[in-house]
Amino acid sequence: MLHETPGLIEAIRDRFAHVDACPFHGPRIFFENAGGALTLKSVAETSAKFAAIPDNQGRDNTASHALVDIINTAKSDLATFMNASFGQFFVGESGTELLFRMIRTACVNAPKGTKVVGSSIEHPASRSAARRWAGIAGLDYVNVPHSNETGTVSAEDYRAYVTPDTTVATILHASPVTGMGMDVAAIAQTIREVAPNCFIIVDGIQHAAHGQLDLDSYGVDGYAISPYKVFSRHGYGVAWISDRLTALPHDMLIDAPATGWEFGTRDTGSYATMSDVIAYFDWLGGEVSDATDRRARIEAAGRAIHAYETHLTDAMINGTGNLPGLRDMEHVTILSGADNPAREGLVSITVDGMASADVVTQLNEQGIRTHTRKADHYSGNVLDPLGLSDCIRISLCHYNTEHEVAQLLAVLKNIRD
């Protein structure tokens, strides 16, 4: 694992901005990665560089040609990173906006009276889009209930609701509330067994930072990520779409190329910063493996990240050193179970007798950044069935340390109203 290679965690942390201190608050431990991961220093440098360039793509000058080359390189990098041998990548306003566009396009092109299937575990980015556009397009929205005990939805859960007239389906890759990952490939395969021509669109926003992506193995038509949750910055989203989703009639300028999905002149720096992110995964894979192929190094990085984050969440749940873990604190309840193999770097808890916002405030006062999830339009679909008004989300990433986990446990051990 990452922490077993001398100096590697330090080298990882050195590549990120504000890894141990907030520019407004001062020294702090960052356990709010699900709300937005730390930013690579290279991303900040690249963003500043491209913000100063006045030229745009599509012009006949040296700078414009260079910008086009940078965009094409980034798309090639994304294809390697996400293992996509077909389809296309494009950027938009945000991951949420891109999910809406893909789901909208699939719905308005579907025959009236057919079905859109999604699950109750999904983030509102996909659930809201699917419900809205199903209604507008005259389709029936079908909800697949998730398991309150595990915080997941399975292929078998989908099987009970998918019928041959299912034309659009949505899948969440990982939940930002429970922290659990779904088996996208198995769910998609189950859908295709019943409705082979269904357009399947995946929200990969929470998953992207926690393990490798493998679009070729999923058998889906759309996949969106939010780069600020995978070590880049705010201000854009990245989508991949299959050739057949690309070809559907969609919002576009009159007489524009039929395969184009971008609106207006996009920021070249957004593409360039994705290349920075992928270069980081490539570097990390080289540190944890002897692989010579770039994709193989990226896969090795993903495995190492997942293994190390599992180590950190295990330490948080089971304890480290002489500190008891969350499962041994009588005043703490862990959502979705203490022993859940689907967990991806996130533990959500409640504290008996305390509002979650008060716990988060006390942790902040001790220099530990976490976040409150409320039973609102973002998280009510998960918290309401559990009878919870809120919870505390503790979200890790591979630049966090076991020492930081220990500091968290030391505070939670004695936290009181």
Task: Encode pLDDT of 289-338 as tens digits.
Answer: 999 999 999 999 999 999 999 999 999 999 999 999 999 999 999 999 99
- Whether the CB-CB separation of 302 and 81 falls below 8 Å is answered with no
- Bin 387: left if φ > 0, else alpha if -120 < ψ < 50, else beta: left
Which residue, 374, 302, 344, is CA-closest to 82?
Answer: 302
pLDDT tens column, 20-29: 999 999 999 9
pLDDT-based confidence at 55, cuts 50/70/90?
confident
According to the model, what pLDDT value does residue 265 have? 84
Token representation of residue 349 = 């808890």
Q: Is residue 321 exposed (0-12), middle (13-18) or buried (19+ Cβ within 10 Å)? A: exposed
What percent of the chain clears pLDDT 90, i.e. is strictly above it? 93
Q: Residue 245 pLDDT > 90, yes or no?
A: yes
- The residues, any chain, with a CB within 8 Å of residue 144's CB and separated by 6 or more, are 117, 118, 119, 120, 153, 157, 158, 160, 161
pTM: 0.96
- Whether the CB-CB separation of 393 and 371 falls below 8 Å is answered with yes
What single-letter amino acid sits at 393?
A: R
Higher pLDDT, 238 or 212: 238
Q: Is residue 20 exposed (0-12), middle (13-18) or buried (19+ Cβ within 10 Å)? A: middle
pLDDT-based confidence at 8, cuts 50/70/90?
very high
- Phi and psi at 6, nearest 5°, equal -55, 130
According to the model, what pLDDT value does residue 417 have? 66
Q: Is residue 370 exposed (0-12), middle (13-18) or buried (19+ Cβ within 10 Å)? A: buried
Mean of the pLDDT values across residues 13-42?
A: 97
According to the model, what pLDDT value does residue 350 have? 97
